Structure 1
Amino acid sequence: MGISAHLARLRTMIGHELIQLPSVAVVVVDGHGRLLLVRHAGHREGWAVPGGAVEIGESPVQAAAREIHEETGLRIGEPRLLDVLGGADFEVTYPNGDRVAYVTAVYQAGVAGGTPAPDQEEISELGWFAPLQLAEIELNRFARALLRATGHLRE
């Protein structure tokens, strides 16, 4: 979906200035114990954990289910809260210059249905990775910090 109408209005007022936003990330685990990672369209920063911003009027759990379905086509089971993260590792500068400091509710969930496919708008590629593979693949800074904090990545 990209940027919400609310955030677009804020950006007209503040430009590219750093803004703090609530977000979610979901560690989606399949029946073989593999984790779903995505590559963002237009970014060459490595693999990422899927997720996105919490919209106005939406709970973080609702945002988690919506983001996974929009970006990957999957429906997830009941998300379990793992952690809430923020700080320097969760600041992002987008290609257009917008700067965001995310406070991210991190969930874990299984696959409840759907066919995995990148939406080709926000996500260009997705892949399933065994936990032992995570230390050997190119992860973006945000994903590396998130997976380390939640115990999924041991380097």
Structure 2
Amino acid sequence: MAISPHLARLRAVIGHELIQLPSVAVIVVDDDGRLLLVRHTGNQNGWAVPGGAVDIGESAAEAAVREMREEIGVQIGQPRLLDVLGGADYEVTYANGDRVAYVPAVYEAGIVDGAPVPDQEEVSELDWFTPLQLQSADLNRFSRALLRATGHLAS
């Protein structure tokens, strides 16, 4: 995962300690009702909803648009805020030991330009899932909780 210069400076001071960060997740639904999920590079913890951290000076909606452009090369339409989440399901410990408690603003948006392609830096793979396929998909804990909270995945 790429780390912003701001977060790199914080990590230099606090090390691997748990830090709370604002983030975004973008639920992309196509015309057939399928959801776009990604696999993050170097992460074997399952399929994920695309997204990432909100940078300093950036709104959450701007971060949603930027993350989709950077990670999968598409332009999304106006993102619609679905929910803001947090709690234990959104805590992540990275392979290097960094611990993050994300507070994701969850958006839904459609693709208005481009075809999704993994950037191979942050995203290694992507695929579309029907609501039925989501039920048995190998989702990471974060995305499973997020999709349940937004009604895209049955409990």
Coarse TM-score class (shorter-chain normalised): over 0.9
Q: TM-score when scaled to structure 2?
A: 0.98
Q: Which amino acid aligns with 2:120?
A: Q
How many corresponding residue pairs?
155
Give the aligned partner of residue 15 of structure 2.
15
Q: Structure 1: give runs of 5+ residues left out of the alignment.
A: none
Residue 118 of structure 2 corresponds to residue 123 of structure 1: no
Q: Structure 2: give runs of 5+ residues left out of the alignment.
A: none
1:63 counterpart SS class: helix
Give the aligned partner of residue 37 of structure 1.
37
Q: Which amino acid aligns with 1:106?
A: V
Q: TM-score when scaled to structure 1?
A: 0.98
Deviations 1:104-128 (A, max 9, x none): 1000001111121000001000001
Partner Cα distance (1:94, 1:136) in 2: 25
Identity %: 74
Residue 99 of structure 2 corresponds to residue 99 of structure 1: yes
What RMSD in Å do the two structures reach over aligned CA positions?
0.8
1:70 counterpart SS class: helix
Give the aligned partner of residue 135 of structure 2.
135
Partner Cα distance (2:41, 2:148) in 1: 24
The offset of 1:148, in angstroms, is 0.3
Q: Which amino acid aligns with 1:50?
A: P
1:42 counterpart SS class: coil
Runs of 4+ in 1 over 3 A off after TM superposition: none
Residue 34 of structure 2 corresponds to residue 5 of structure 1: no
